[in-house]
Every structure is written in structure tokens, then in C-alpha cells.
Structure 1
Amino acid sequence: MPFESVLTDDVTDVTDVTLRELTKDDAVAIAHAYARNREHLAPWDPARPEEFYTEEWHKERLWAQVLENSTGRALHTVLEADGEIVGRLNLTDIVRGAFQNGHVGYWLDARFTGRGLMTRAIEALAAHARDELGLHRLQAATLPHNEASQAVLTRLRFERIGFAPRYLKIDGRWQDHVLFQRILHD
């Protein structure tokens, strides 16, 4: 059964936001979301080629993420409001066996920040990861100066577990990250 959760926006009268699994039909809406949020996301994202912001780029590549969902290696989701993609929340690099771990990554449309939506989305994803996927641990990484993202993780009982120098190439350069984890079975 596909994963889906409705995230009520308690702050404003904006239509509810739905967190749901990515589908192959989302390519156009995702391209529009990234193009609309290009400046907003640039400081937090890897450098993107110009083609990344086109419908064609996403139509050619989205199937790989849908396939990862179907094989259990990942859970790629979108946040949707009124038929428009307004964010992504992904659980990737799922490792089974003794680890039972996944990595959490996310972004939210500039128009929807500050409402607690991503907090509710990650909480729904964490419950699904624990109850349906049987994961024991979630891990996330943020840039040291991304205080908003760190506040979301802290509210959700993620604990800081370390500092990784030059961890990811973000905005065109290797940047340090703060590492967080949440144990799901305590």
C-alpha cells in the first residue's frame, strides 16, 4: 500500500498538504517546484546543471526514484498542495540487516516555511519507517548554519551525534555537516 499522510496546516487557512509517495507522473510538477524555488534552495543543494530545472530532465530520471521505492531501497515522497508540489521528503540509503537505517533529506517551498509542515511530515515518515518499514534508526545531516533545519530535527527528538568535515558538495563546494540520528525503538 502506498504511503500517504495529510498534514493539516494549523497556522493558516491554506489547503491541507498531503505527503505521499512519488509517482512517475510527478515529473512536470517537480520540475516546476524546483524552478520556482531555485534561489531558495541554492544555498542548501548541490550545484545543479541548467537542464535540472526542465521537465525533460525529470521525465528522464524520475523513474529511478520510483523504482527505488518499489524495491524498498528508498522512500521518495512529495508534499503536495492543490495539485502543486511544495516540497520533498526522502528516506534514502535504506540498509537492512543489523543496521535497519535510512537517511532523511528534505526541502520545502519558500512559501510554506515556518508553518511546522516539515516537522509534521518527518514525524509521519518516522512513524511509517518504524511501524511499516521496520527501521530502527534514521540519520540526517545539515549544514552548520542551517539553524531552521536543525530546529526541525531537534523538535523531532533527533540527537546530534557528530560533525563531518567536508561531508557533501553543496552549492559548488565541499561543506561541513552536523550529523543527527533518531532511534525509533526506544
Structure 2
Amino acid sequence: MALIEWLSRFDSPQLEGNGLLLRLPVSDDYVQWARLREDSRDFLTPWEPAWAADELSRKAFRERLSRYRQEARERTSYSFLIFGNNGETLYGGLTLGVIRRGVAQSATLGYWMGAPFAGKGHMAGAVRLVCGFAFDIEGLHRLEAACLPSNERSRRLLESTGFRHEGYLRKYLKIAGSWEDHHLYSLLAEDLRQA
């Protein structure tokens, strides 16, 4: 079970378990974040929206932090960094975003892993932590995730963490500069309770 601590100054959760620490980024994370993203550029760009010219700048990072804090305060999105090695080593990131309340009680899951840490089970552990947070703390009912048909690693990750394939979305997201089809996966709160 994840240990959840609230950081009152950011109204943001900190999740621990599976040898991982997930938390909202802070200014001091910039150097490690920019280095990992730059070192993983070739690995990440086929699966992500096109990077802006200033994608890795300190200014762009500060703007992200401001947006992430605001969204966390409003409980509309939580953008976590994933750390291992007792919180010392940045592995990647995971976002529980587009949180819809009311009758929907749902959110969208997005994630990225630095190239040196991919394929080692870290993202599966992070997804499990965030699912527990989404269902048990935030009271959500449904999580959705989409992945490119060619991204076999992402498909295996979603299936291994209990997500079910629901459909095919035509030209769903603009990835690497082109509108791309995606597979849609979902996980319901009762799916985890039945597992």
C-alpha cells in the first residue's frame, strides 16, 4: 500500500511504494529533469508531441511548475516526477490529468520514462501507485490511457497494470508533428477491487 503524504504548500500528494517516490516537481529538479529529457530525446520523441524550441529551458520548466501547482490546487491534474534510489534518481514522469468530476469521475493517464530506466518495471510500479491515489484518495471511477498502435511497450504496460483495451481512436493526438491513431485503454475502480 502506498504511503501518501500531503505537502501543504503545494496541495500536492507525495506517493511512495514499489521502491519509488512520486511527487510534484520543484525548481531544484530542473537540472536532473533537463538532462534526462535531453539524454532520452531520441527515445521519447516518436511517442510525444513535437518539442518546442525552448522545451528544455529553465524558463519553460518554471512555467510548467506554475501550471502544475495551479492544477494540483484545483485538483484538475497531478503531474508527478518518478524517482528511485531513495528519491535521488529521476526516472521519468506521470500525469493524472483532465480530471473530470461530477457524473464522470474520470481522468486521463499519461507517462514518460527516461531511456536508461525503460523496461525495468518502474513505470508499472508508478502506474499502480497513481491508480491507488486516483481511486482511493481522489474518488475517481475511471482512468483512461491511449497509446500508439506501434508502441508495444506502452500496450504491455497498460495490460500488465489491469487496463483493458476499449477501442481505436482515429487521428486522436498530434504526436511528433502528425495526427496519429491510438488504442484506448481504461481501468475502473471496481477492476482493482476485483483483482
Could you say whether these structures have the same fold, taking a TM-score greater than 0.5 normalized by the shorter chain as the test?
Answer: yes
| Selected match of 1:31 from 26, 31, 34 | 34
**Superposed CA offset, 1:67-103 (max 9, x none):** 1012100111001235342200100000001110000
CA distance in 2 between counterparts of 1:41 and 1:116 reads 17
Is 1:3 matched up with 2:6? no
**Residue pairs, 1:1-186, within 5 angstroms:** 1=6, 2-8=13-19, 17-81=20-84, 83-186=88-191
Looking at structure 1, the residues matched to 26 and 74 of structure 2 have their Cα atoms a distance apart, in angstroms, of 14
3-state secondary structure, aligned to 1:39: helix
- Helix, strand or coil at the partner of 1:59: helix
In structure 2, distance between residues paired with 1:135 and 1:41: 29
Q: How many residues align?
A: 178
Residue 60 of structure 1, CA deviation: 2.9
**1:151 to partner: Cα distance:** 0.5
Taking the aligned partners of 2:27 and 2:58, their CA distance within structure 1 comes to: 12
Question: How many angstroms apart in 2 are the aligned matches of 1:116 and 1:22?
Answer: 22
Partner of 1:92, secondary structure, is strand
Gaps of 5+ in 1: 9-16
Percent of aligned pairs sharing the same letter: 34
**TM-score, with length taken from structure 1:** 0.89
RMSD, aligned CA:
1.5
Distance 2:51 2:98 in 1: 21
Alpha-carbon distance in 1 for matches of 2:105, 2:30: 30
Match of 2:189, as an amino acid?
A: L
CA deviation vs aligned residue, 1:14-45 (integer Å, no higher than 9, x gap): xxx42223335433432222212111101001
Structure 2: give runs of 5+ residues left out of the alignment.
Answer: 1-5, 7-12
CA contact (8 A) 2:143 2:188 kept: yes
* Whole-angstrom CA distance in 1 between matches of 2:148 and 2:142: 20
Q: Is the 8 A contact 2:14 2:21 kept in 1?
A: no
Name the aligned partner's letter for residue 56 of structure 1: K
Q: Name the aligned partner's letter for residue 122 of structure 2.
A: L
SS in 1 for 2:67: helix
Normalising by the residue count of structure 2, what TM-score does the alignment of the two structures yield?
0.85
On the 8 A contact 1:101/1:138 being kept in 2, the answer is yes
1:108 maps to a residue whose letter is: M
8 Å Cα contact 1:28-1:58 kept in structure 2: no
